[in-house]
Structure 1
């Protein structure tokens, strides 16, 4: 294979040691090499920029249909309705009965009193 046909191109950067340490730590958490981690992050960031600036093209009829859909009444999505009706894990009966608005306000006022004594 000649040099012109080479599919890999080196990329070199100078970075502070603290940045390298953060990258290495994150790469290790993902079980990736530094090179793989940085390459994937850079490509993902580049794709995001390109997608933000890519024009959306459609025919006049397609645009009319798109605008009609946006202007029409909203239809509920059953999965979203079910999700919003479900209690959050931290909103169980046991925890909500122990912590009410009054106890939160009491805690806040106690913190104010304590912080005032320190001065």
Structure 2
């Protein structure tokens, strides 16, 4: 783990930490610079210590897990058989366009005006 700390300009009370992102062998390494308040940094350090991890390990694992959850939440959803059938039926048999949709489709797009 590599930690660098530098002092912010006079009058600014925002600590700066640099966290090096370590990847598996053969992958490029990069860094992420974060400005966080001291109490947030301490909270992260306390949680990492409870798990026996470094701040970097904790932040990478936690951020990676959250990123996966966000991406899956946008791409994956689970349905029981009955709801799956209803979903597929709705896709296969969409409702007829209503007046608002027909009006929208008749309008010229903003980029063509």
Q: Does 1 or 2 have the higher relative contact order (CA < 8 Å, sep 6+)?
A: 2
Please say whether Structure 1 and Structure 2 have the same fold, judged by a TM-score greater than 0.5: no
TM-score, normalisation: structure 1:
0.43
TM-score, normalisation: structure 2:
0.45
